[in-house]
Every structure is written in structure tokens, then in C-alpha cells.
Amino acid sequence: MPVILITGCSTGIGFATAEALARNGNMVYATMRTPANCPQIRQLVDAEKLPIKILPLDVLDDQSVQNAVNKVISDEGVIDVLINNAGVGSFGSVEELSIEMIRKDMETNYFGTVRCIKAVLPIMRERRSGSIINVTSVAGKVYSNFHGAYSASKAAVEAFSESLAQEMKPFNVKVAVVEPGIIETPIFRKVNAYPQKMLYPNLKRFMSLFAASLENHVTPSVVAEVIDDMVTGRTNSFRNPAGPDANPLLTWRGAASDEDWINSVDIDDETWISFMEQNMGLNVRKYMEQSQMPQFN
């Protein structure tokens, strides 16, 4: 039974991935910062007797990460797969986001991932076996206004992963990334507040895009299915988009020159609305026409 360590399992993609991989015959160590605050996963394990063990792990703390890794090795003798999923997300203009908010995205999404990887690399290298899967985002390849802090953190993980994949190839350790599109997870209920006085009116487009996308109710299980394919070897791709809008968003960005992509923010609202409706199938108009900024509930 393969042994899998997953970070950020309290809700969303991490929870769905732990459940899916356990149902498919893996021994899953589901970690989160404070397990006592996340009774849902304990209830799932108790009700269905799934092979899931719950551990505390704070990706911001060296000792917490090492303690979790040591516990898995003590219990199982091996970690076959590390899935780095723990993450946070902020939005807003660079001018209006605090340095603390920008640092939080990078510390959690990038350095948290690096910290967990460094804890398992000696084990995998010495065994000449293992797999590391990093959950990045379409935002790690599609850079949008008002998403600079989050995109930068996910782009950093993309670059780090590609470099690491080459380093680990001689040791038979596989590194890959999964790139979710817009997935309905609790992260949207935790977004930072936006300023009451908007200095950047195009923020409403950004918020409308996400609000309209969330109407599609794409669940985290979609990402979990892609990760399961990666774990089982049904796919051997380095980059693995996940969700119905992931490939369209990546294709949209890939088809535009850098200059055209940057200049596209200058189009008027009606042109932008029409593009989103016709090319992305998103009903953004109702959000753009309402007086209040769109909310994520």
C-alpha cells in the first residue's frame, strides 16, 4: 500500500485528495495546521474506516514539518508520495496590498512547499524512489492584474518544480505539478478585504470573472482525480491542468503576445464582457452591472 503525505487537508483540494487516494487503496497521512479545528476529516475516517491518519503539520514551521515526516517514517518506514497542497491566496493591486499580505502568499505557497520537499528529499534520494506532486495553479502561468502576489508565489513553485525534476531524475524521483483552474473551495471565503475606495476600477472585472466562474461549481474532486492519475502513473506529464477552464485559460494566455496581454486591460467594459460571455462562457455582465463589488459566499 503506497504511503502518501498530503499538506493542507482541512478543506478543499487537500481534503478531496486525501479521501480519493484513501478510497483507491493508499495509506494517506492527511496533515493540517490544527487537526482539532477540522472535525470533518476525522468524521469521514471514523464513519468509513478509510486508511487515513491525521497529523498536525504547519508548513511555516521547520520543526512541525520535520516532526510530521519523522512520524510517517516511524510508522511506515517510507514516504512514497509527497503532495504539497497547503496554500493561501490574496488579491488586490500591488500598491494596496500590504507587504505582510504579499509575504504571506510567498511564505505559505512557495517556502512552505520548499520546506516540505527538503524534509523528504534525503529519504527519496537514498531509496531512489518516490514522487513529489506540487499543487500550483493556472495563475502560476497566467498572470493577471490584481493577482500579482498569488501568481508570483505559484510561478515560483512552477519554476522550482521544473528545476527539481531535473535534479531528481538520476535518483528515480519524479516531480510534477497539477495546475487547477478556478475551483470552488473555501479559499474564496477567506480572501482579504478590498479597499472601500477603489483606486483601480478594473478590480471589478477581476472579481466578476471569479464570481461568474464559481457559478459552475467545479468541485475539488476534479483536481483529486487528476492527482490520482498522477499517483498511479496513468499520466506521466510534468504539468497537469485540472478543471474545465484550466486548458482554455492557458491557451488564451499562450495565444497572446506579452504586449497584447498587457494591453488587453485597456479595452472597454462592454468589449470585455462580450469576450467573457462568448469565449469563456461566463455570465459576468450581472456582476459588472451591480453597484456593489462581487462577493464570494
- The enclosing domain of 189 has a CATH number of 3.40.50.720
User: pLDDT tens digit string along 133-156?
Assistant: 999 999 999 999 999 999 999 999
How many domains is the chain partitioned into structurally? 1
Tell me if 16 sits within 8 A of 222, measured CB to CB.
Answer: no
Q: Which amino acid is at 69?
A: V
Tell me if 297 sits within 8 A of 189, measured CB to CB.
Answer: yes
Among 29, 150, 194, 287, the active-site one is 150
150 is catalytic: yes
In a domain, 294, yes or no: no
What are the beta bridge partners of residue 180? Answer: 242
In a domain, 32, yes or no: yes
Compute CA distances 16 → 12, 37, 52, 197, whole Å.
6, 17, 12, 38
Domain that holds residue 120: 3-193+217-255
Strands 173-180 and 239-242: parallel
User: pLDDT tens digit string along 66-88?
Assistant: 999 999 999 999 999 999 999 99
For the chain, give the number of residues.
Answer: 297
The set of cell numbers assigned to 152 is 508570483
In a domain, 132, yes or no: yes
**pLDDT tens digit at each of 297 positions of the chain:** 899 999 999 999 999 999 999 999 999 999 999 999 889 999 999 999 999 999 999 999 999 999 999 999 999 999 999 999 999 999 999 999 999 999 999 999 999 999 999 999 999 999 999 999 999 999 999 999 999 999 999 999 999 999 999 999 999 999 999 999 999 998 776 666 666 677 898 999 999 999 999 999 999 999 999 999 999 999 999 999 999 999 999 999 999 999 999 999 999 999 999 999 999 999 999 999 998 888 775
Q: Which residue has the cell 485559460?
A: 249
Q: Quick one: which of 180, 62, 75 has its CA closest to 114?
A: 62
What are the beta bridge partners of residue 6? Answer: 30, 83
In a domain, 291, yes or no: no
